[in-house]
Amino acid sequence: MSTLVLLLFTGLGLGALYFLVAAGLSLIYGLMGVLNFAHGAFLTLGAFTGWEMARRAGSDNWGVFLLSLVIGAAAGAAFAAFTEFVLIRRLYQRHIEQVLVTLGLSLAAVALFDGTWGTDPVYIQGPAWFKDTTDILGARVPNDRFVCIVAALLVLLALVFFLKKTRYGMIIRAGVENRSMVTALGIDVRKAFTLVFTIGGAAAGLGGVLASHYFGYVSPMLGGSLLIFAFIVTVIGGLGSLTGAAIAAVAVAVLQQFANFYLGGTGDFVVVLALALVLLFRPTGLLGRTA
Amino acid sequence: MSTAAERSATEAPPILRVEGLNARIAGQQVVEDVSFTVPATGITALLGRNGVGKTSTIKAIIGLIDRAGVVELAGERIEKEATFKIIQRGVGYVPEDREVFSELTVAENLRLAERDAAPRRQLVEELFPDLLARSGQMAGTLSGGQQQMVSLARALLNTNKILLVDEPTKGLAPKIVGEVAETLAEAARTVPILLVEQNLHVVRQLAEGVVVLSGGRVVHTGRALDFLDDARLIQRHLGVSSDTASHGETAAEPAQKGAAL
Ligand SMILES: Nc1ncnc2c1ncn2[C@@H]1O[C@H](COP(=O)(O)OP(=O)(O)OP(=O)(O)O)[C@@H](O)[C@H]1O
Ligand SMILES: [Mg+2]
């Protein structure tokens, strides 16, 4: 039982990270049709700047941790806004070029991170409480799991509120469904594009700081490895669906943890199998729009 | 329509002038050297068989598809502008197949369309009381007729220089067709309309001028009644005798003329 609970919370914590990356990916694809391979770089930059800031502040207390979240999110947001404004904006509707440019950007970013912070993982420290455990049904669950889960839930709630209750949220929902009709109502949809990139980058940057605490280190490859699973989550959840991304993130991560433990480390294989099954039997994803 | 209105319609500068308009979709030329004008008052019908490029012409005017040529709105060139800027100049667009946002509520669909500082919500509520009652319903769950009301309402909320209305009666029951026609007639008292319409009864009821397309080109322009009363023109350009074109409703006089010819 305690193993089960531990696996569940570890999976939920990982799912939270997947969601923070997949949320932006899914909205960006849904609205603009852009497969953003640079999204992992937003996350890595967030992780490094958050860590750099915490290192300079020289303490591992909660205040520094919260500030590092803000800094990481801001760095991710700025990088994403820059990417949209300088590179993607010129390439709308040109999907092959978009893939090449974002893929190239992610490689260049990894090289830049290598040059700046080195290729070795940097081990990090958070508030001492993170490494403590909380007893749940006999399982000793590391506290950093809860931090990830709570942060992802807050981001999910904030995004839902933004999408449902604000005019820009409405423009984005409408744009995901029918972009050209939004422009035909006299709305400059490009502003929404920049905004979605910025929001997606902020979530990824935040996810980067959280991921560095979850895994205990930062490395230039951090974003790339999470990005692969975030893409799978996005496809399983249904491209463009935020709720779909949330459900799929949890499902994929928990499945992965259980398969790793009970099926001899086959977590990644099982996830790819799940992706194949979804593509076969429900190609639009769990909550994807049909047609 | 009074003769005074007709005279002012011909004398006042046109609200829309299209000159040598070309457009392609996926490499195929769908609009070819199209030229016509839309007078500053009344309804002008854009007619033609299926697939001749009516919808493409309208989309090219507002830049929804790549185009070349001259497009002038109220005397100003707009053919190089982005779609949202053209719309903001005062163009109301009611697309073929409604294109409501199915996962937004009726109220959200309408709010999204509001451009003016003081949108005419009250007018829309009076015209379409049904929509007010369904404001919280997802637009995708509305009936076809109700969706068309949303689509029309989105255009009527704002003050426009022209309305571009693409087949508003497509697939609607006769009673709703009548309601849509009435709404358009009402709207046309304050704003000129370029109307794509297959139902020739509706054209007869509403339009003062016609522009007829065939194979992406303009093949006829003139007064609506002159065209509708000429069974040979209708047969040639629309490929139908005029009574079947009007969905088998009570035979109108052009049908009798057609029989006489
Ligand atoms: N997305 C597209 N891809 C390829 N061809 C297209 C596309 N859209 C339109 N066409 C072609 O362009 C031509 C003109 O189409 P358009 O929709 O403008 O005709 P229409 O006069 O509005 O027809 P209808 O009366 O059936 O609405 C048609 O031959 C059509 O097949
Ligand atoms: Mg059409």
B95 Cβ below 6 A of ligand 1: no
Q: Which residues of B touch A174 (CB under 8 A)?
A: 101, 104, 108, 112
Least confident piece of the model among A246-260, A276-290, B100-114:
A276-290
pLDDT at B248: 40
| Cβ atoms A24, A199 nearer than 8 A | yes
Report which protein residue has its CA nearest ligand 1's atom 29: B51
pLDDT at A290: 55
pLDDT tens per residue, range B186-239: 999 999 999 999 999 999 999 999 999 998 899 999 999 999 999 999 999 998
Chain B residues within 8 Å of chain A (Cβ atoms): 62, 64, 82-84, 87-88, 93, 95, 99, 101-104, 108, 111-113, 115, 154
pLDDT tens per residue, range A173-232: 999 899 999 999 999 999 999 999 999 999 999 999 999 999 999 999 999 999 999 999
| Candidate from A173, A184, A185 with C-beta closest to B103 | A173
**Residue B167 alpha carbon, nearest atom of ligand 1:** 27
CA distance, residue B197 to nearest chain A CA (Å): 20
Token digits of residue B253 = 């006089």
Domain-wise residue ranges, chain A: 2-223
CA distance, residue B162 to nearest chain A CA (Å): 14
CA distance, residue A99 to nearest chain B CA (Å): 22
Token digits of residue B23 = 């457009």
pLDDT tens per residue, range B188-199: 999 999 999 999
Q: Which of B56, B98, B166 to probe ligand 1 with, by most ligand atoms within 8 A of CB?
A: B56
**Helices and strands: H and E segment counts in chain B:** 13, 10
pLDDT tens per residue, range A45-82: 999 999 999 988 877 789 999 999 999 999 999 999 99
pLDDT tens per residue, range B55-80: 999 999 999 999 999 999 999 999 99
Distance of CA A207 to the CA centre of its chain: 6
Domain-wise residue ranges, chain B: 4-90+161-253, 100-159
**Is B4-90+161-253 a CATH 3.50.50.60 domain?**
no
DSSP for A46-64 reads HHHHHHHHHHHHT--SHHH
Token digits of residue A191 = 């502003």
Are A170 and B103 inside 8 Å of each other by CB?
no
Place of tokens 């591992």: A60
What phi, psi does B54 have (nearest 5°)? -65, -55
How much distance in Å is there from the Cα of B53 to the middle of ligand 1?
A: 6
B16-25, strands of its sheet edge to edge = B28-38, B16-25, B67-73, B76-77
Chosen for mutation from A177, A185, A187 (greatest number of chain B CBs closer than 10 Å) is A185
Burial of A217 (0-12, 13-18, 19+ CB in 10 A): middle
The interface predicted TM-score (ipTM) is 0.87
| Candidate from A174, A188, A289 with C-beta closest to B112 | A174
What phi, psi does B105 have (nearest 5°)? -70, 170
Per-residue pLDDT band at B240 (split at 50, 70, 90): confident
Are B84 and A183 inside 8 Å of each other by CB?
yes
What type of residue sits at position B36?
Answer: F
Least confident piece of the model among A53-57, A144-148, A257-261, B242-246:
B242-246
| Cβ atoms A214, A148 nearer than 8 A | yes
